[in-house]
Structure 1
Amino acid sequence: MAAVHTRAARSARARLVGALTSTPEGSRRAAAALGHERGYGSLEELLADDAVDVVHVCTPNALHAEQVLAAVGAGKHVVCEKPLATSPEEASAVVDAADAAGVVVAVPFVYRFHPMVREARARVRSGEVGRVLTVAGSYLQDWMLSPEDDDWRVDPERGGPSRAFADIGSHLVDLLETVTGDRVSSLAATLSTVHPHRAQHRDVATEDAAAVVVRTAGGAVGTLLVSQVAPGRKNRLHLEVAGSAESLAFDQEDPERLWVGRRSGSLLVPRDADQLAPDAARLCAVPAGHPQGYQDAFDAFVADAHAAARGAAPEALPLAVDGARAVDLTAAVLASHRSGGWVDVPAPRTAPPAPTASNAAPTPAGAAS
């Protein structure tokens, strides 16, 4: 992920000050490979560098909260890969620390930054969709299909207690709540570990798939399916929202169009800035008819995160409160699976104020961790 973050930071015209890995030699190699100015020998050295304004945290999940808290304590703005933390308590600590320090902590729920997601959101907000009745979503991948497929995320000590849901289900629920403006208030979940043993891990304790039934605060009901063992599906994130007047469907593997369903006269809306709501149009990086995809969405996210570090307030930027929301939802999914019943999901935390002028970065300079 450091390469994706680096490309996005470069696109945002950030100065790439340096990189940090688990060893000084690894840091030097990463800096050379990614085009950063230097490699750091330790996190303390990185945080002591006044040239660094924004720290991008791309380390294993279990390290996120500790490293973000250290960066925030040093007065740095942060872009932290999700999950923000592996427990609700750690996530709350990060939210409180960022609020107290007046710095930005952004979490890359980057699918929000597809223009057609923003178009869907605008249509719900304008009332065109009517009252949201049902939601149906899935996030399907196949990269863990075989028992020979393995990854550090399988280990709860490094990846946290949830794998498939925390890794990709969090994106699906974030998309649902971003588009509808509603929140999941309760859920019932069941998890499945398809392979009890993998190439480098015995007695696997994290899930390959999750099925979740949800209720929202606004009264909608829905179903969500998350799987990393779905043959042929590489990154199929799909959300369909049915309202009392219209339905909307977005498919991340076909992100250039939004399906608008009507009882008579359904249509496909193309990614054409001249036809879209202002917040969707601003995210159109290339002219209509030219494909735009994942890296473009990531670039837009980082550009907005760095703008927030300078004191701006970009629309729908996912912050620490959103990262903590995903951690709460993951905890609820795990609790429901254990109990076999419905679980209430805590209400979202209140978003913190914009960064103070003294902490705003005039020209963000980044360091990958």
Structure 2
Amino acid sequence: MLDIRRQSTEVRAGIVGTGFIGRIHARAARQIGARLVGIAGADLANATEAVQALGAEKAFETVTELITSGLIDVLHICTPNHLHAPIALEAMEAGLAVICEKPLATDAPTAQLMAERAKNAGVLTAVPFVYRFHPMVREARERLTALGRVSLIQGSYLQDWLLESTDDNWRVDPKQGGPGRTIGDIGSHWFDLVEFVTGDRITKLCAQTSVFVPERAGSGPVLTEDLATVQFITASGALGTVAVSQVAPGRKNRLFLEVSAATGSLAFDQENPEQLWLGGRTGSQALVRDPLSLSEAALRYSPLPAGHPQGFHDCFDAFVADAHAAIGKDPREGLPTFEDGARAAHLTDAALRSAREGRWIEC
């Protein structure tokens, strides 16, 4: 918990995990003026090497040493998935705020336990569902409320970084990444975005999964899905479908969402995040991000003038800024918490179960 004896409102952050996403967290923390106190990695040598690269003050030999140091207010967890739960539970037990990468845990019951522990501990928790922080996503959420009943939700999340048999990563290993790789890694982002934008919950789904690359050079036979398709129904009765893939040639990080409602449709493409497509019976248009025409909800996340593109880093900066503000008792609407992380884990488990059993699953 925050030390009330300190006069400064500066948030003191620690990071465990020194890979790509750890660097993203570190950059965002520095951008918003947090003090990046410490780094823990696979070992002391790894952490020491990362100190300068991440802009931190000190390397710690273990994550426990970092958690119990008394020098940090928040721990950013950027490790392989199977380490999320034990580290987060230890940090919350010590009274720290926790920002934990998704998936929150490798199974839904553990993720739910983490959400309950966070609530009981009274600590701030957050999960980087950062696509919520695109201004045009906030604009979509705002405009959808005036379009009437939603009839159809469709989209995809497509990547190609695991297309070849020589492409490999710890996420392919279910012991480290969990049993649901593509659904848990990128499908969780899409599910979170759908429920955030529409305010509607998925209540039933039916999924298919496929292993397209049966064996990888580094890890042998593949046991986690390369791609999946999911049909679903929401609480309001809207129908939906999504395809997720990490073997879609040419698609680097294409999250696409389209929602059709009674009086209009809208669509957001993360590879073209400066625009929101608006559709109507008599015509359609591409709404370009412009602070002069955005709603108040979107304007808050649009610091740059029109024509100055915003992207992933800006989303991450906004997410970390909102999380750190909430640590300082200044809560921000739309911050994804451990409850949201547990919800995504629940939907991942439901999709995997559906694929295994070949039937619709209640959510």
Check whether TM > 0.5: yes
Structure 1 residue 85 and structure 2 residue 125: aligned? no
**Displacement of 1:20 after TM fit?**
0.4
**Displacement of 1:111 after TM fit?**
0.2
Q: 1:156 aligns with which of 170, 174, 178?
A: 174
Matched residue, 1:112: 132
Distance in structure 2 (CA, Å) of the matches to 1:78 and 1:85 = 14
Which amino acid in structure 2 is aligned with residue 7 of structure 1?
R
**Displacement of 1:106 after TM fit?**
0.2
Distance in structure 1 (CA, Å) of the matches to 2:184 and 2:47 = 28
Structure 1 residue 20 and structure 2 residue 10: aligned? no
Distance in structure 1 (CA, Å) of the matches to 2:297 and 2:276 = 15
Q: Provide the secondary structure at the position in 2 that maps to 1:260.
A: strand
**Displacement of 1:305 after TM fit?**
0.5
**Displacement of 1:268 after TM fit?**
1.3
User: Gapped runs of 5+ residues in structure 2?
Assistant: 1-20
Distance in structure 2 (CA, Å) of the matches to 1:335 and 1:289 = 45
Matched residue, 1:270: 288
Matched residue, 1:102: 122
Matched residue, 2:148: 130
Q: Deviations over 1:22-41 (max 9, x none)?
A: 10111111112211001001
**Displacement of 1:140 after TM fit?**
0.4
Distance in structure 2 (CA, Å) of the matches to 1:77 and 1:29 = 25
Aligned pairs (5 A) from 1:1-369: 1-125=21-145, 127=146, 129-345=147-363
Q: Give the length in aligned residue pairs.
A: 343
Which amino acid in structure 1 is aligned with residue 359 of structure 2?
G
1:187–1:215 contact (8 Å) kept in structure 2: yes
Q: Deviations over 1:239-282 (max 9, x none)?
A: 00000100000000000010000011211111112211111000
Distance in structure 2 (CA, Å) of the matches to 1:105 and 1:112 = 16
Higher relative contact order (CA 8 A, sep 6+): 1
Instruction: Detail structure 1 runs of 4+ shifted over 6 Å in the superposition.
Output: none
> Percent same amino acid among aligned pairs?
54
**Displacement of 1:100 after TM fit?**
1.0
Distance in structure 1 (CA, Å) of the matches to 2:197 and 2:327 = 25
Distance in structure 2 (CA, Å) of the matches to 1:228 and 1:20 = 29
Distance in structure 2 (CA, Å) of the matches to 1:297 and 1:285 = 11
Distance in structure 1 (CA, Å) of the matches to 2:79 and 2:135 = 28
Q: Provide the secondary structure at the position in 2 that maps to 1:187.
A: strand
**Displacement of 1:285 after TM fit?**
2.3
Q: Deviations over 1:53-95 (max 9, x none)?
A: 0100000000101100000001000110001111111111111
1:285–1:296 contact (8 Å) kept in structure 2: no
Distance in structure 2 (CA, Å) of the matches to 1:102 and 1:40 = 26
Which amino acid in structure 1 is aligned with residue 332 of structure 2?
P
Which amino acid in structure 2 is aligned with residue 234 of structure 1?
K
Distance in structure 1 (CA, Å) of the matches to 2:52 and 2:40 = 11
**Displacement of 1:122 after TM fit?**
0.5
User: Gapped runs of 5+ residues in structure 1?
Assistant: 346-369
Q: Provide the secondary structure at the position in 2 that maps to 1:242.
A: strand
For the aligned residue pairs, the C-alpha RMSD in angstroms reads: 0.8
Distance in structure 2 (CA, Å) of the matches to 1:10 and 1:210 = 37
Distance in structure 1 (CA, Å) of the matches to 2:158 and 2:195 = 19
Distance in structure 2 (CA, Å) of the matches to 1:57 and 1:214 = 31
Q: Provide the secondary structure at the position in 1 that maps to 2:204.
A: strand
Q: Provide the secondary structure at the position in 2 that maps to 1:2.
A: helix
Matched residue, 1:350: none
1:279–1:315 contact (8 Å) kept in structure 2: no
1:140–1:228 contact (8 Å) kept in structure 2: yes
Q: Deviations over 1:322-359 (max 9, x none)?
A: 000010000000000011010001xxxxxxxxxxxxxx
TM-score in terms of structure 1 length: 0.92
